[in-house]
Amino acid sequence: MEDIIVKLKEAGLKGRGGAGFPTASKWEALKNAKGEKKYAICNASEGELNVFKDGYLLENYPEEVIDGIDIAIRELGCFSAYLYLNKDYYEKYKDNLSKIIGDKPIILFKKIAGYIGGEETAACELIEGRRAQPRRKPPFLTDSGLFGCPTLMNNVETFYYVSKISKGEYEKKRFYSINGDAAHSGVYELPEDWTMEQVLKETGNYPIFDFFVQAGGGASGEILLLSELDKPVSGAGSITIYNKETTDVYALMEKWAEFFHYGNCDKCLPCREGAYRIHEMIKSRDIDYETLKSIFNSLNSSFCALGKGIPLPFTGLIEKVIKNNDKNNI
């Protein structure tokens, strides 16, 4: 049997679901974990705004994705694996995926969960038949995950590259979702260490107008100006372009606020009440920026990282775009 963990270490692959945790470390932890049963989960919930690379992979490279999952089952001694799909992906790809899976112990799982479905412990709760809410960590999934057993969870793109690494075909690339005020929206595979400026220019998406981007994710991603595009994209690899002249920044904030409010799992008070108050304030356009700042501070005590990440796009837009365009409103 191939030693895929050695290959993953040599490749330096990091998870492509957003956190960027070294893949080899996670696989090694599961391989060394003690337990009668072990599980693997491919998380294809992809519930964030303007992130659609995993759907692209399921449509265009399903064989590689399934191969990556199968490698995890064989190499790590997993009892079975789950491919967790959001509702749309399940309806679109279930038949083709089922054919590719054949008699492999990979189970297609569908559940509506939205944004919180991307949180690994919440995904385990869903598969176990409970409400999608995060668990306290530790224990981490590789010690006690699905059904209390050691569990590996990676996203679609990570498993795709596991397959490539196994075949010696990995070229240190990643997938980028480019959208918004882009000339050529779509998914592109390019070097992982390229700056956002390089990515936009190579794909013909570097605007001729004044713009800013939201990078990493379409809701939780950070706001960056032209002078800040000299670094690689982080998170889920999304780059959303916004025309500075024509973008209604308040409508944009309302879209984020609505997403976080309705996608909230309601488990903890800071996130539940904070997301609600942000949504109500921005929806009414009666924005008290000092109160908003106080809410952002309280979100730091949220139970999981999803709540802690809510302030990032708002603070970036306010500080870098709104303050410069409309100082009298601050």
Distance between CA 198 and CA 182 in Å, rounded?
Answer: 15
Confidence of residue 327 (pLDDT cuts 50, 70, 90): low
User: Nearest 5°: phi and psi at 313?
Assistant: -70, -35
What are the pLDDT digits (tens) for 82-106?
A: 999 999 999 999 999 999 999 999 9
Record the pTM.
0.94
pLDDT, position 326: 61
Asked whether residue 134 falls in the same domain as residue 31, the answer is yes
Asked whether residue 271 falls in the same domain as residue 229, the answer is no
Which residue, chain included where needed, has tokens 């601050």?
A: 330
Domain-terminating residue out of 243, 276, 294: 243
Asked whether residue 148 falls in the same domain as residue 186, the answer is no
Count of CB atoms within 10 A of residue 171's CB? 10
For the cut 80, the answer to whether the pLDDT of residue 2 exceeds it is no
Structure-token pair, residue 182? 């882009």
283: CB partners within 8 A, 6+ apart = 254, 257, 258
Asked whether residue 8 falls in the same domain as residue 44, the answer is yes
Cβ-based burial of 48 (10 A; exposed 0-12, middle 13-18, buried ≥19)? buried
Asked whether residue 290 falls in the same domain as residue 238, the answer is no
Asked whether residue 179 falls in the same domain as residue 195, the answer is yes
25: CB partners within 8 A, 6+ apart = none
* Residue range(s) defining the domain that contains residue 289: 251-329
